[in-house]
A = this chain, B = another copy of it.
Amino acid sequence: MQAIKSLVAASPGPQYLTGDKASIDAFIDKFDVFLFDCDGVLWSGDHLFARIPETIAMLREKGKQLVFVTNNSTKSRGDYKKKFDSMGIAAKEEEVFGSSYSAAIYIARIMKLEAPKNKVYVLGESGVEQELESEKVPYCGGTDPLLRRDMMPEDFKNVANGSLLDDNVAIVLTGLDYHPSYLKYALGMAYIRRGAKFLATNIDSTLPSAGSLFPGAGSTSAPLIKATGQEPLALGKPSQAMMDAIEGKFQFDRKKACMIGDRLNTDIQFGIEGGLGGTLCVLTGVSKKEEFLAAGAEVVPSAYVDELGDLLG
């Protein structure tokens, strides 16, 4: 019995905070910085969860630094700021860190390809384009309406002979694309086969919305992965390229930072692999508590609550 108790004490499992005011206060006090996932934590699609503005305000009153870390690639930081405004949550654009921004930073500041051979072929929405523009990275594809059309017989020839391709494209970057087309996939495949570097803002399998799950950004890269046999370098959570960029921008002690999210295999893994002081899982999104409470669970948060608003006690 003694041996078993010691073992349990050594691996206490995640702490359940909902309704336990003293434990909540002790947990919050341990951290200076909170990194938040947004979809599934603050809201689901257009549905704001209960007591979110108040919870955010409470953390600000305690002097915490807040960073909103999202894999949503369809929105730029500016778009996200508008979403926070419309939801009645106080947030600054500088506090938002999205996967499109992470990808733009990686391309502009890490890859640093020489112009003009530094163009990005985008499969994704305007959030990707805006963040590339903010880092002065040239791009094509994306929301170009000319690519939202049927594949014609001559397109096969013109992709094959290269006349539809831009010679300056050196990178294919995929994000969630609500407007897929066969022509877009064919161009992406052709660029990768020609040697373009294959990047993804993120490869989330699903997108939570309207209380259900929809295809995530991973569904945009999946056809290209199947067609080329290559895997993209993903720059959203749980990629540590994103954590490095966040730390570079906000300058904090990782041991005094906590990642809050709804997905074990992106958010919580992101915080654990990043060596943060803690991780908090909320049960308003993708992952269920059975997944991390199960014996042998691979990704286990430090603590969990039913919903973020429970932090108000």
Task: Determine, out of A103-111, A129-137, A206-214, the stretch whose residues face the partner at the interface.
Answer: A206-214
A46 within 8 A of B: yes
What's the tally of chain A residues with a CB closer than 8 Å to chain B?
A: 42
Cβ contacts under 8 Å, A226 to chain B? 203, 205, 215-216, 218-219, 222
Tell whether A210 pairs with B180 under 8 Å between CB atoms, given A215-B226, A219-B185, A222-B222.
no
Q: Which residue of B lies closest to A182 (CB)?
A: B178
Bound-state CA distance A159–B214 (Å) is 9
A 187-200 binary contact with B (CB < 8 Å = 1; else 0): 00110010000000
Q: What is the oligomeric copy number? A: 2
A232 touches B (CB below 8 Å): no
Chain A residues in the interface with B (C-beta under 8 A): 45-46, 150-151, 153, 156-157, 159-161, 177-182, 185-186, 189-190, 193, 203, 205-206, 209-216, 218-220, 222-227, 229
Minimum CB distance partner of A221 in chain B: B226
- Residues on B with C-beta less than 8 A from A215 are 182, 185-186, 189, 223-224, 226-227
Q: Which of B180, B189, B209 contacts A180 (CB 8 A)?
A: B180
Given A150-B179, A179-B181; 6 other pairs, CB 8 A cutoff: A150-B178, A216-B227, A218-B223, A219-B222, A222-B222, A222-B225
Are A182 and B182 in contact, CB atoms less than 8 angstroms apart?
A: no
Instruction: Report yes or no: A156 in contact with B210, Cβ–Cβ below 8 A.
Output: yes
